[in-house]
Copies of this chain bind each other. A is one copy, B any other.
């Protein structure tokens, strides 16, 4: 079986961490990884149960004793696949079209996890490893890693390392390699608005009771102005403003706003006034409604005052915003802006994540720059990640170890949306590049 065939097999396991009905698939994916890692010559491979989905661990030893240790981090869980009807082929029926492998999780992050195993297998079968390599693959990244911090705290010795290399993440573009120096945090709440105790006839009640769908819309509208600025009281209080030097560095990153607009399919880009697109994506917090529902969603019309409405809100956070504090501010804001005649409940989602930044003078960043230049034939740019890696900050907080990103994913791969894909070419680039990185790291990490 070729590496690609094996990868397709891995992708066909619907390891959706958010949906309870996929719990058996999560276990299956973990066991699949364990078997494959053992076949690669990785030692001490273990599937650790957690309060949620399992963690997969293993270690491959350096050819020489006393070598430093690099821990490779990735995740084998995926986002849910809906809306299903927008996929050209089934999300868990991987198909190769035009050099691209289409499947949920192909890029995020099975396409990071699997090539890393292959790269280490090749090194073990060839000249040996210049560093000890530990593997930590989790199954809850897409739901905010609710159990990983506790797992790490309980297994500090097992996980001890000199650097974490994340194969989750991505390059600024396929042509422009990048060094990611930070990622945004995340928190979220669900807002439920209760009007009448059950749906009422809008003829008999329209004009006498408040409508929870309208009340929810009014609450949401109170949270963000028409220009995209968040209006939640205190939301920006702890945000560290960018220095002029940082803004200058960001400005050097080429941004094709027209191409971005076209890729997204929007009439115009949009966001908080006073900041460039990259500043907004990397160093400004956001507030988004990711789902909303209430009342009659079928075909045609139903003349009711619905009983209830709800929405899910997530915020992307930047230094030094604290997720718990933001949840508190959101809750207070909703309470202060709930219209009369309805009841409201705000529930925080588990799995908050703090934002993360690596010091600009960390020696590993120089190594990354050299390796990426060789691999891509071009100087990398320095960026941050608009998304969240829940554990980037946790490794630092729990193990005292910094994390760098080494992932060949690129931004056009429909990550989290329908028709996610990963290019075979980028798969190969990761398999080829990881051993080079490990060799270079052996130099700067040597104690």
The chain A residues found within 8 Å of chain B, CB to CB, are 18-20, 79-80, 82-83, 86, 142-144, 183-184, 186, 188, 195-211, 213-214, 216-218, 220-224, 226, 228, 260, 264-272, 277, 280-281, 284, 286, 288-306, 309, 311-312, 314, 316, 339-343, 349, 351, 385-388, 411, 414-419
Contact = CB atoms under 8 A, between A and B. Distances in A.
A72 to B, nearest CB: 21
Contact of A415 (B18, B201, B288): B201
A207 B280 contact: yes
A302 B411 CA distance: 18
> In the complex, which of the residues A83, A203, A295 has the most CB atoms of chain B within 10 Å of its own CB atom?
A203
A200 B314 contact: no
A300 B20 CA distance: 10
Contact of A290 (B184, B268, B304): B304
B298 A204 contact: no
Given A200-B416, A203-B388, A292-B295, A226 B218 contact: yes
Given A217-B220, A316-B207, A416 B267 contact: no
Contact of A260 (B82, B198, B208, B264): B208
B292 A292 contact: yes
Contact of A269 (B209, B211, B267, B297): B209
A286 B309 CA distance: 19
Given A213-B220, A290-B303, 5 more contacts: A79-B303, A204-B281, A207-B284, A208-B281, A210-B266
A288 B211 contact: yes
A248 B255 CA distance: 68
**Secondary structure type dominating chain A contacts:** loop
B298 A80 contact: yes
B265 A197 contact: yes
Contacts of A186: 303
Given A203-B316, A387-B204, A291 B297 contact: yes
Contacts of A298: 18-19, 80, 82, 291
Given A195-B266, A213-B292, A312-B296, A271 B339 contact: no
12 contacts: A199-B417, A203-B387, A207-B277, A208-B271, A210-B266, A213-B289, A213-B291, A214-B288, A218-B221, A292-B293, A301-B312, A304-B417
Contacts of A289: 211, 213-214, 217, 294-295, 306
Contacts of A209: 264, 266, 269-271
A228 B265 CA distance: 36
A303 B415 contact: no
Contacts of A311: 213
A143 B268 contact: no
A302 B316 contact: no
B80 A296 contact: yes
A183 B201 CA distance: 14
A326 to B, nearest CB: 14
A268 to B, nearest CB: 5
Contact of A217 (B19, B221, B264): B221
Contact of A204 (B200, B291, B415): B415
Given A202-B314, A203-B385, A221-B218, A291 B288 contact: no
B196 A265 contact: yes
Contacts of A206: 281, 286, 288, 316, 386
A268 B305 CA distance: 15
